Amino acid sequence: MITESNLLERAAALAGLAPDTPEIVLDLDVVRANIDRAAATAHEMGVVVRPHTKTHKLPRIAHMQVEAGAVGVQVAKLGEAEVMADGGIEDILVGYPIVGEHKLARLADLAERVTISVTVDSDEVAAGISRVARERGLTIPVLIELDTGLRRLGVLPGPAAADLAERIAALPGIELAGVFSHEGHVYTQARDDGERERLTQEACRAAVDTAEVIRSRGLAAPIVSVGSAGTFRFAVRCPGVTEVRPGTYVFNDRSQIAQGAATAADLAAFVITTVVSRPTPERIVVDAGSKVLTSDRMLVPDPPASFGRVWGHNDWDVVRLSEEHGVLEVPPDAEARVGDRLAIVPNHVCPTINLASAVTVVEGGQVVGHWPVAARGRVQ
C-alpha cells in the first residue's frame, strides 16, 4: 500500500531499479490498479472505455486495458494503429482526419485486418474514406467529430453537425456510427472541480443532444464517445454518453494530480535521473533535459515555470532545461550529491514516453522487463 509517508522510500526503490539513467521506470502494479479502477467506474455507470494509447504506446498495456473490459483502443495516428494491430489489438478507432492517398490506402489495409473506425469533421475527409472503402469493398464506421469547447477539430454541435452526418451517412462504404468529442479545454479553463464538472457536463450534453438530432432524422448514431483522463469521473455520469476515452489515467502525471484526477499513489511512470553536478547549494543538474522530459508545461490554467518535480520533494523543481541537462532549484540544505538518483514526475507523461525507446518495467518491486516503446515516433 502506497501512502504519502512511504513515497520517498518507494521513489528511492524505483530509482535504484533503473539499469542506467535517464530511464523511464513503469510500476506495473500501479498501472494495473489504474486500469482496473477506471474499468470498474465505467462499468458501474454502464459506459464502455476505449483508452487512448498515445499515453503508453505499448501493445502490452493495450492488452491489459482490453482484458480489463475496454472495447478497443483509440489512437491518433495510423502509425500507432499499425503497431497496435500488429500487436494483436482487434478494435481500433483512429481519432484523426485521414487526408491523402497514401494514408487512405493504409487505412483500408488496416480495415482489411482489424475492426477500424475513424472520426471525420468534413465532407472532404469523408469523401476520401468513402472512395477507398468502396474500391476495396469495405464498410468503415465513421464518427462525426464535434467541437464541444476545445476549438481544435470538429464541427459545432447541433443542426450543422447533423447536416454533415446526414451527408456522410448517404456515402457508400461508410456507416455512420455516432459522435465523438474530446473536452481537452477543461484542463486549461477550469480552476476547481465545480468548474471541471460543469464544463464536462456542458460538453457531454452537447454531444448527446447532437446525437439525438441525428437520430431524429432517422439515422442510426448509437455511439456518443467523449473523454479525457481529467474529465473521466464526470463524463461517465453524463446520461446518454456511451463511451469514454481516457488516455493519461493509465500512468498519470503532475497535471492529472493538479486536476484532482489522481493522487501521488496513482503515479506509475517516473523519469529516473542522476545528479551530475551541484554547482551551487541551490542548483542541481540532472542528466535529463528536454530530449527526455519534453518542454511541456503542466496542463492547468496558469502553468508554473516547472518542467517536472522530484518525487517526494515538493520544493525540488526542474526550472530550466537544455537538451541534455535538467536544472533544478532546491533549498540550500537539500540532501543531494553528485551520483544520487532522483525520480522525476513528468508534467505530461504522454510526450515523455514518446521520447523513450524502451521503458523498464517493475512489478512486485522487481524488474520484470525492458519493453520497447513500439509506437513511439509513429506520427504519420
Ligand X SMILES: Cc1ncc(COP(=O)(O)O)c(C=O)c1O
Note the residues at the interface with ligand X (CB under 6 A).
52, 95, 182, 184, 227-230, 245-248
Q: CB 206 → ligand X: shortest distance, Å?
A: 15
Q: Which is nearer to ligand X, 54 or 103 (CB)?
A: 54
Peptide bond into 22 cis (omega under 30): yes
Q: CB 183 → ligand X: shortest distance, Å?
A: 9
* CB hemisphere CA count around 202 (13 angstroms): 15
Bridge partners of 140? 174
Those residues with Cβ within 8 angstroms of residue 329's Cβ, 6 or more apart along the chain or in another chain? 282, 283, 316, 317, 319
Place of cell 518535480: 309
Bridge partners of 310? 344
Q: Which is nearer to ligand X, 173 or 227 (CB)?
A: 227
* β-bridge pairing 223-226 and 283-286: unpaired
Q: CB 200 → ligand X: shortest distance, Å?
A: 12
Q: Which is nearer to ligand X, 95 or 128 (CB)?
A: 95
Distance, in Å, from the CA atom of 115 to the CA atom of 77, rounded to the nearest integer, reads 15
Q: Which is nearer to ligand X, 198 or 278 (CB)?
A: 198
Q: CB 244 → ligand X: shortest distance, Å?
A: 9
Q: How many helices (H) and strands (E) does the chain have?
A: 13, 17
Q: Which is nearer to ligand X, 95 or 149 (CB)?
A: 95
Q: CB 233 → ligand X: shortest distance, Å?
A: 12
Q: CB 349 → ligand X: shortest distance, Å?
A: 9
H-helix or E-strand containing 219?
A: none
Distance, in Å, from the CA atom of 20 to the CA atom of 246, rounded to the nearest integer, reads 31
Q: Which is nearer to ligand X, 133 or 350 (CB)?
A: 350
Distance, in Å, from the CA atom of 292 to the CA atom of 281, rounded to the nearest integer, reads 25
